Structure 1
C-alpha cells in the first residue's frame, strides 16, 4: 500500500479549529503575564513577543508525533505529523518556557488552531538564571512577584488530545518518518519540523527516545532516497 493511502495518512477534516474554545478561557485573571510551555516548534521558532525565556520541564507527560497537520506542515489531502503531549505517569517532557502577556494569546491560538487546546500545567525551571541572558527590565513589577526567578510556576501548554479530528495516533517510527518525508505545507517541509526539534533538544541536553528515534529513521530514509533516487518512465 502506498504511504499516502495508509490510515495514518488519510485526509484530515478541516473542523479541528480550536480558536473559539481557547478564546473563551481566562488564564490571566489580574496577572500581567503568564508562562507558556513550548515542546514542539515553539522551542525553536518563537515568532511572538515574550518577556523572558527559561528551559523547563513538565512532569507526567510525553511528547509524541501523533497529531496531524494540514495547515502548517501538510495539506488536507496529505497531512503531516507534528508533536502533541500524552499523559504518561513518571515521564518528563523538556521544553522552553516563555513569559508572555495576554495580547500574545490570540496569535498563538491561530498558530495552534488545528486541534490544540490550552491547558494549565506546573513548570519546573532548569536554569539558575534566565536563558540566553533574557534579563527582565529592572523596573519591571513582575520581578517583585518572582515570576522570572521562581523554581516552579503555573503555566499554559497547548495540547492536541485524541478526541480532536486531526489526531492520527500511534504508528511505527518508519511509518511516521515516511509520512513526514512526504509531507509539505504552508510552513515548509514536515521534515524540517522534526529535524529542527531533534537538534534543539540535543542542544538543550535533552533525552527523548521518541523524537530521536523518528529523526534517525527520517535521516536514514533521506540517505536512501539520495543514494537511490526515484526514476520515472
Structure 2
C-alpha cells in the first residue's frame, strides 16, 4: 500500500510537468489501489471473523465450565436433598411408630382404666377389717364387697398397705405360697415344681394388682405374724399371714400405688410389696425363663397341696380379665395348657367363684 501511494505521488507530479503524460497510467494505478484496498478490507474482515469465532469459542467454554459447575452443584444439592429426605422419612416413620405405639398403649390403658376404675381398681383398696373368715375363703372380685377409698378419706393414723399380684389378686386370704415362680410347696412338688408369677424390678414396666389396706393394729400383727396352722383347722380360724405366704426368699419393698394409668401423683405411697430374687443361689424355687410350650407342659404335670398348677394359671387369667387387664402372655400360656390337655383328653380345671 505504501508503494502504491509513492507511485501515485510520482505520477501526479509527472502529470503536472509533462504535457504528454498518459492519464491511463493513473487509471491503472487506481485499479491496483482499489484492489489493494479490497485485499486489506478482506484481511480485516477475516481477522474480525476469527476474533468473533474465538470469542464464541471462549463463550462456549465459559458456558460449558459454568454448566459443569452448576451440574456439580445440583448433583450435590440433590444428594443432600435425598439424604435429608431419607433422614426425614426415617424420623417421620419413627415418629409415626412412636405415635402408633402411644395410641395403642393409650387405648389399652384407657380401656383398662375405664373398666378397672369403674369396677375394681378404686374398689380394690380393701379394708382388712372384714372377717378373717372371709379373707381365708378368698376375696370375691364383686365390687360390692370392696370399699372405695379416695385419697382424701385415708385415715390420719398409720395404716399398712399391701400390694398383691398373682394369686393375691383373687385370694388375699390364701395362706400358701403360690406367688413365687417355681414354688415347690403349694402348686407343685420338688419332683414336679410348679410355676407361679414373681415380681422383678424393671424400669418402665407396670404391674397391675390390688392394694389392700389394713388399718387395725391387731390385723397388721395377724397379717405379718408368720404363724402356721394345720390344714384340718383352716376353715375354723384364718391363718392368712403374709410373712408365711410370701416366705420364699422375698424382699419387702415399699412402692407408690396408682389407680389410674395416666396419674402422676400416686393414690397411695409406701405400699408394701414382696419382690422375689431371680438369683437361684438365693431363691431355690426360681425356674427361670422357658418357652411357652415348655412352661405349659410343666404346669400340666405340677400339683401340690394347694391344688393343680393349672388351676393357679386359670384363676390368674380370670382375675386379670375381671380387673380389665388382659395379659397376652398369661392368655397364650393358658390356651397352650388347654390345648395340651385337650390333646391328652384331660379335663382342664376351670376357676370357680371364690
TM-score, scaled to structure 1: 0.63
CA distance in 2, matches of 1:86, 1:36: 17
Q: State the aligned residue count.
A: 161
8 A contact 1:120–1:154 mirrored in 2: yes
2:325 aligned with 1:206: yes
Aligned to 2:291: 172
| Local SS of the residue matching 2:317 | helix
Deviation at residue 182 of structure 1 after TM alignment:
0.5
| Local SS of the residue matching 1:80 | coil
8 A contact 1:38–1:96 mirrored in 2: yes
Deviation at residue 90 of structure 1 after TM alignment:
2.2
Listed as ranges, the matches of 1:95-174 within 5 Å are 95-100=209-214, 101-103=219-221, 104-106=223-225, 107-126=241-260, 151-163=267-279, 164-174=283-293
Aligned to 1:60: none
1:151-188 residue CA offsets vs partner (Å, 9 max, x unmatched): 23221111211121211110011111111110000111
Deviation at residue 203 of structure 1 after TM alignment:
1.0
2:342 aligned with 1:223: yes
| Local SS of the residue matching 1:67 | coil
8 A contact 1:73–1:184 mirrored in 2: yes
8 A contact 1:66–1:168 mirrored in 2: no
8 A contact 2:180–2:285 mirrored in 1: no
- The structure whose Rg is larger is 2
Aligned to 1:45: 171
2:197 aligned with 1:83: yes
Which structure dedicates a bigger proportion of its chain to strand?
1
CA distance in 1, matches of 2:242, 2:269: 20
Q: Mind listing any 5+ residue stretches in structure 2 that lack a counterpart?
A: 1-156, 226-240, 347-354
Aligned to 2:181: 67
Aligned to 1:92: 206
8 A contact 1:116–1:160 mirrored in 2: yes
| Local SS of the residue matching 2:207 | strand
| Higher relative contact order, chain-length normalized (CA < 8 Å, sep 6+) | 1
Which structure dedicates a bigger proportion of its chain to helix?
2
